[in-house]
Structures are given as structure tokens and as C-alpha cells.
Chains A and B, each alone.
Chain A
């Protein structure tokens, strides 16, 4: 069975601090995809990143970076120099090998950035 665990339900930091959101996944598939989505107060899920299981190279996009470690089944997300606009609920997610696989979401981490 596939499962995504986001143990941090809420995180609150002061603006400009770095913050890491943890994600641990379980799957029996050898090929799979990992995702992060952002859900601001407006409610719309915003796609951030998609990685396949064969690509363990870490990725950086501006202030965002992702650390994929297959050995620990983790796909953590770090925001550097956080800003108030980063406040949202962040979901880590997993899908199987099929191109049309449904996405299994974690329960989300609510991130609050205080000015």
C-alpha cells in the first residue's frame, strides 16, 4: 500500500528564517513519483515539483529546495529566507508507476510565517 506521512502538522517561524518540511513515504513500487503542492488560504492547490524515483538529485528553485533520499524514503522540502507569502498548507504526495496514477497525499503541514 502507498502512504505519505507528514509528521509536522503545524510550523510557525519568523520571517527570513529557513524552514524544512518533512515527508516520509511508503510504497512497494520500484518506479514512482513524488510531489509537493502548496495550498494557500484561497484553497487552490499549486504544483511545486514532481520527481521520479530514479532521479535522486536534489533540486533548487529560487528559495525552494528539495532533498530526495531513497535510503530513508524521504522527500523533504526547505524554504530558505522564508517570507509571509509562503504561509500556506504544504502537501507531499506520491503516485505509482502508471502515467495516470492517482496521487496519494499526506495530511499536510500548515506553515505560518510571522512578520
Chain B
């Protein structure tokens, strides 16, 4: 499978617990994005990386959220002290930048989080 992969696909947790999600981008893609999608809405941008550098963060990304991409390959998104309002689908996307690249963002299957 050469697409974007995300793990786990589903996560149920209790309020106050920490959770971590992983995204593996398409192998040669140097850009990686995180989005959040709530029921009945379109995805909303959270943050993005160029290689290992986190270059933009949305105001939606509160201080309980942290994302890393330590070696410029896979990325993790951690939510600390989860709240019920964090329940959503967390989507990862990757793209290839550079001369001749289309820069199109390709999405993974998402991680669906439910906070009880």
C-alpha cells in the first residue's frame, strides 16, 4: 500500500486521558498536514510540516495538542487531557513540493476519536 496510512483507525478514551495518533505519509512526500473533521462538517486545518519543521499551526490547535515529525517521515499528534469536544476524525495528508510537483494533498483514512 503506497498511500497515506494512519493508526489507530479508531480510539475510544475517557475524558482526561492522553492519546497519540500516528501518520505515515506517502514515502517521498516532504509535506505533511493534520486536519480535524467533526460530524457533518468539512475538515479543518490544524498544522503542517515541511520535512521535520512545523511551519504553521491553526488557532484550533490548543496547548493540549502537540504534533511532531522527528525525522521528516512519520508524524504523531498527541492530545493531552482529552475533552469530549475533542471527539472527531483526525485526518492526515501529505504532498510533494518542489519543481514540477503538483503539491496535491492526498489524505489518509483518518483516526476516529471518541472521548467518553
Complex Cα gap A104–B50 (Å): 19
- In the complex, the answer to whether B44 meets A105 with C-beta atoms within 8 Å is yes
**Does B104 count as interface, using CB distance less than 8 angstroms?**
yes
> Contacts A44-B108, A47-B106; is A100 near B45 (CB within 8 Å)?
no
**Does B97 count as interface, using CB distance less than 8 angstroms?**
yes
Count of A-B contacts judged by CB separation below 8 Å:
55
Chain A residues with a Cβ closer than 8 Å to the other chain, count: 20
- In the complex, the answer to whether B97 meets A99 with C-beta atoms within 8 Å is yes
- In the complex, the answer to whether A100 meets B48 with C-beta atoms within 8 Å is yes
User: How would residues 36 to 76 of chain A score, 1 for a CB under 8 Å from any chain B CB and 0 otherwise?
Assistant: 01000011111100100000000000000000000000000
User: Of B40, B56, B89, which contacts A107 at CB under 8 A?
Assistant: B40
Q: How far is the CB of A85 from chain B (nearest CB, A)?
A: 18
- Add 17 more A-B contacts to A42-B109, A45-B93, A102-B56 (CB < 8 A): A4-B42, A37-B107, A44-B110, A45-B43, A47-B105, A47-B106, A91-B42, A91-B43, A93-B42, A100-B31, A100-B56, A103-B43, A103-B45, A104-B45, A107-B41, A108-B40, A108-B41
A contacts, CB < 8 Å to B: 4, 37, 42-47, 50, 91, 93, 99-100, 102-108
A sample of 15 cross-chain residue pairs with beta-carbon separation below 8 angstroms, ordered by A number, consists of: A37-B107, A42-B109, A43-B109, A43-B112, A44-B107, A93-B42, A99-B103, A100-B31, A100-B56, A102-B33, A104-B45, A106-B42, A107-B40, A108-B41, A108-B42
